Amino acid sequence: MTISPPKAPPVTAVMSFAEALCAAQEDAMAVDESIVLLGQDIRAGFPFGATKDLVERFGTDRVRNTPISEAATMGCGIGLAMAGMRPVVEVDFSGFLYLGLDQLINNGAKLRYMSGGQVRVPLVVRVGQGPLGSFGAQHTQTQQALLAAVPGLSVLTPATAQDAYAAMRWALTAEDPVVIAEDMRLYKTKGEVVRGEVPDALRAAVVRPGDTATIVTYGHGVTTALAAAASLARESIEVEVLSLPALSPIDAEAIADSARRTTRVLCLTDDPPYFGAGAGLASVVRAGAYDALRAPVLELGSRPVPAPYTPSLESLVFPSDEAVAEAIKHLVGWSD
């Protein structure tokens, strides 16, 4: 008979989104020696603190600073994963991810399939997404839809500190490559985090119930949607906010369920119109609820420009609370 060690009870603490990512890596590394972190400046936890102080606990073999070599680092992560390790590759800003995407898309996402199931690549990639504020067009972009279009890749889109913790713990049990798309506006936002639990699956959550319309969104979009919903409630328009923990795999069932209940849907993203996540989510809504909708699915995303530097222009690019509220009123008015 084997006696399992007593399980530590979950610990609850208030922490930031970045601290939650760090806590999740720490908790997972403590129980799984195959986890190795790779990235630029990760020993110092620079720039967002998502790996802060981990080197002190786990050492430089497992918290491994890399040169500025995104392609080789990503490939090295894939090679580690092929050999049975669980690497976490950090790419701090979205623009730098492209240098590693040949490795991630051509090798990481395809090796299991191309090998007829022989090769597994349990790789986790962390990458910042969206605007941080006046970092210019190369540091400010979204790639969730691009990545979610790649068969074999999972793309996680946490919206809160608790989501970030759950996303990382889930990713570190996955059998295939996972990208955690970290909305950079969220790194400093705080929330209560229950540590110690590893979710079996990531499910979409109704984070505010309502009966007039649904806002389907993810990442920082959830913050924007909740603010818009609060202001709409003052006008007696009750909007449901559905938070997606991942774009791939997509929780199509939860999307259809909410859409069928509220009969009107706004897909809120930070992508430009037509070929981004908005279009993708709208197709999921239509597939699951076309016969129950009272209005066409509406999409609201960014303006189709490279992100400008100066704050007064940059603030016009991504959807505001006001724009979301206006879009909901348009949706309700259209179908009244």
Partner 1 sequence: MTIEPIEPVVPTARTEPDAAHLYRQMALIRRFEQVAYRAYEEGDVYGTVHVSIGQEAVSVGVIDALRATDTVLSHHRGHGHALAKGVDPNRLMAELCGRADGVSRGKGGSMHATDVAHGFLGTLAVVGASIPLAVGYALAQQLTGTGDVCVAFFGDGAANQGVLYESMNLAALWHLPVIFVCENNSYAITTAAGDSTAGEGIAARARAFGLDGVLVDGQDVLAVRETTERMAEAARAGRPGLIECSTYRFMGHSRGDPSHGVYRTKAELEEWKNRDPLEVLATAAGLSGERVAELQAEAQRAAADALAFARSSPLPDESSLMEDVRA
- Cα 139 from Cα 146, distance rounded (Å): 16
**Residue closer to partner 1 (CB basis): 143 or 248:** 248
**Residue closer to partner 1 (CB basis): 87 or 130:** 87
The least distance separating partner 1 from the CB of residue 309, rounded to whole angstroms, comes to: 29
- Cα 137 from Cα 230, distance rounded (Å): 31
**Residue closer to partner 1 (CB basis): 57 or 190:** 57
- Cα 221 from Cα 71, distance rounded (Å): 30
Q: Which residues bind partner 1 (CB under 8 A)?
A: 36, 61, 66-67, 69, 71-85, 87, 102-103, 106-107, 111-120, 151-152, 154, 175-176
**139: annotated active-site residue:** yes
Structure tokens at 310: 């100066």
Annotated catalytic residue within 43, 110, 139, 169: 139
The least distance separating partner 1 from the CB of residue 124, rounded to whole angstroms, comes to: 14
The least distance separating partner 1 from the CB of residue 150, rounded to whole angstroms, comes to: 10
- 298-300 and 265-268 strand pairing: parallel
Could you tell me where the DSSP H helices lie in 63-217? 70-82, 94-101, 111-114, 144-148, 161-171
The least distance separating partner 1 from the CB of residue 257, rounded to whole angstroms, comes to: 24
Q: What H or E segment, with its residue span, contains residue 39?
A: strand 35-39
**Residue closer to partner 1 (CB basis): 73 or 144:** 73
- 154-156 and 246-248 strand pairing: antiparallel
Catalytic residues: 139
